[in-house]
Amino acid sequence: MAGYDRAQFATFVWAGQGMLAVILLWGRPELAERIRTGDVASDLLRPVHPVTSYLATDLGRAGWACVSRLLPPVLVGPLFFDVHLPARWSTVPLFVVSATVAVVLCFGCRFLVNATAYWLQDVRGPQILWTLGSGVLAGLYFPLPFLPDGLFLALQLATPFPSLLQTPLDVLVERDPTGAQVALVGVQVGWAAAILALCRLVQRRAERRLVVQGG
């Protein structure tokens, strides 16, 4: 169904559960809290740009999540289900690249959601919208190829959401030929670069209006 066989579906589900913790689709609004309390002022005194600093921290978190949260379901799944094992040598390194880009992209999206606190103070509204929308549009609740082809293609090219979870999992289960997989990872890289650039732009604009109590 939708280009998947039974083994690919099983792999999609088990690896998807592990990937959810790696990319951290729904993280704590730490940056928003620091903005609300004024603690973010200390971030601006550091010699490293806030986006770079928070990204480095998130990459470290993702590295540990690969060991503690991704490996267990990947190892346990084959004990109960027939899973899809990569048939092409390029799949594993391409998946590693795709998953890494997904972590960077998801960080950027979360950063933008949290950065709305510079203007709103209370980010519960944007946070709820992100929680509801990202799970559906990233492919967490169902594989996005279940959607009509035109809608699926539009989501892939016009939004960053499929690049968060759907693309890395499609690369892992080898749903598409190698050339198509490389193109999908290229789309991921493009979205990650655009979102990180937007993060820096938003941060620069926010610093011009930031008011911290007491100074």
Averaged confidence pLDDT in the chain:
90
**Largest Cα–Cα separation, the chain:** 61
Please report, to the nearest 10 degrees, the dihedral formed by the alpha carbons of residues 59, 65, 66, 69 taken in order: -160
Please answer whether residues 149 and 176 qualify as being in contact, where contact means their C-beta atoms are separated by less than 8 angstroms: no
Q: What predicted TM-score, i.e. pTM, was given to this entire model?
A: 0.92
Residue 64 has pLDDT above 90, yes or no: yes
pLDDT at 214: 45
Q: How far apart are CA 44 and CA 123, in angstroms?
A: 21
- What is the mean pLDDT of the segment spanning 85-91? 90
Q: For 28-42, 58-72, 89-103, 200-214, which range has the lowest pLDDT when averaged over its residues?
A: 200-214
Binned at pLDDT 50, 70 and 90, residue 211 comes out as: low
Residue 154 has pLDDT above 50, yes or no: yes
Binned at pLDDT 50, 70 and 90, residue 212 comes out as: low
Residue 210 has pLDDT above 70, yes or no: no
pLDDT at 50: 92
pLDDT at 213: 46
Q: Is the dihedral of CA 204, 210, 212, 215 positive or negative?
A: positive
Binned at pLDDT 50, 70 and 90, residue 28 comes out as: confident
